[in-house]
Structures are given as structure tokens and as C-alpha cells.
Structure 1
């Protein structure tokens, strides 16, 4: 699950206090499933909900949400491009004090796993990068 690591890094970059105090950024994988078909290939896809909980947060939540959106634009672009997916990034806030909250951000993720054989017949397992977003000039 390489996306979880890059998503954590994006939040830590947006708010360096999370990098210094890593226990304040909790990362969970919820509702995971593996999707495979009966096709001849052995490749498959992970589907899960990333659950990011920032505890005792005293900063601007917009900074973290912008980091998630910027990350999604590169790593899970259908969350922004597909009209049916645009409301799938959700959040909850637990107000702890006038200046401090716990922020829970959830977003559905997929990761494609490509399985092939090397010349010696051994499995080669690779988590595929996301395809580049389609821009208007490419249509």
C-alpha cells in the first residue's frame, strides 16, 4: 500500500508539526477489498478507505484539506475529475477547545497491482502508478 505512505507525507509536508510529532497523525485502512477477475492475468486491485485522523490540531484545517486535494489530483485523480466521485472525500471534526480539534478525513483509494513473470519464471509484483490525468488537449 504505497498510497498511504505518500498521503501521510503530503500531510506532514503541509503541516511540519505533524512530521515532528508523528503520533498526532493516525493513518488507518478501512473497508479493504481485493478485486480480481477471471481473466488469464493474475493482476488485481486493492480498494480501501484511507482514514486519516489528526489529533489536537490547532492549525487551519484548510491547509490539510488542500494537501489532500493536491495529493488526490496526482494519485487518485478520479476523485476530482469524475462528477460521481467529487463528494467522496469526507471529514468529521471533534471540537476539543476553541482553538483545537481532532480532524478525521476519509477518502476511497485504489491501487493496481501488476503481476508478471520474469525470465526465470518467478513472480514480479509491482504496484502500478496512477495514469496521468487526462487534460482537455488530450481529448
Structure 2
């Protein structure tokens, strides 16, 4: 699995308190399921909930939620685009402790693709990341034919 380590790295990079106190962060995988078929390939999709627990946190909770949201935009964008993802893809619970700290548990519904190919009687497994985000469309404002500008316009 690629995503748990990727999220951990993103949180350490963006939250100084976690970087200085890595024991505050714990990751758990729950409700894992494999979505495979009877196709010729053994390729499959791995679906699971990644539970991210941060203990004894005293800062602004948004300092944790925003980096996770940014990470999801690149690593599980369907959470932000599908109705099901918006409702259940990123949830959290916070326990308020006696000392003004919180224990925050975030649950992320994630998927990862695994390609399995058979070559020469051996199985070769490749873990895939998310497909790249679509490149923003930049509309042309000029037309050249054989290197000569023949038309130009405003957007």
C-alpha cells in the first residue's frame, strides 16, 4: 500500500508538532476489501478505511484537517467529487481531554490499484498511484500555418 506512507509523509511535512513528536500520529487500516474479478489477470482494487489518530493535540484542528484535505485532492479526488465521497469519504471524531488537548481520529475511505501480470510463468505485481490530475486546458489565441501567423484573437 502506498497511500498510508504518503499521507504520513505529508502530515510530517506540513505539521511541525507531528514532525517533532512522531509518536502522536498512529495509522490503522480497517475494513479492507479486495475488488477482483474472474478476468484473465489477477489485478485488483484494494478498498480500505485509513484511520489516522493524533493524540494529545493542543493546536488548531484546522492545521490537521487542511493538509489531509490537500492530500486527498491529489491522492483520492473522488472523495471531493462524488456524493458518496463527500458524505462518507473523510470523517472524524475528536475526544476532548481534561488538559485542553484532543485526540483526533480521522477516517478516510481509500482505494489503491494493483496490477498483476503473468510473464514466463511468474506473477509480477505493480502497485499504482492515482492517475495524474487532468492538465488545465489552455486555450490557444493564435493560429500559425507553416510557421506564419495567420490569425490571432482574445479569449
The 5 Å alignment of 1:6-21 reads 6-21=6-21
> Which structure carries more relative contact order (alpha carbon 8 Å, separation 6+)?
1
Q: Do residues 47 (structure 1) and 74 (structure 2) align? A: no
Aligned equivalent of 1:73: 73
Identify unmatched segments of 5+ residues in structure 1. none
Aligned equivalent of 2:106: 105
Q: How far off is 1:87 after superposition?
A: 2.2
Q: Quick one: structure 1 residues 81 and 132, their matched pair in 2 at CA, closer, same or farther if it must change by over 3 Å?
A: farther
Q: How far off is 1:78 after superposition?
A: 0.3
Aligned equivalent of 2:118: 117
- Structure showing greater Rg: 2
Identify the structure with the greater helix proportion. 1
Separation in 2 of the partners of 1:100 and 1:22?
Answer: 16
How many residues align? The count is: 137
CA RMSD after TM alignment: 1.9
Task: String of CA shifts for 1:80-104, please: whole Å, max 9, x gaps.
Answer: 1113311221000000136310000
Q: How far off is 1:134 after superposition?
A: 4.5
Aligned equivalent of 2:2: 2
Separation in 1 of the partners of 2:113 and 2:136?
Answer: 25
Q: How far off is 1:114 after superposition?
A: 0.5
TM-score for the superposition, normalised by structure 1: 0.89
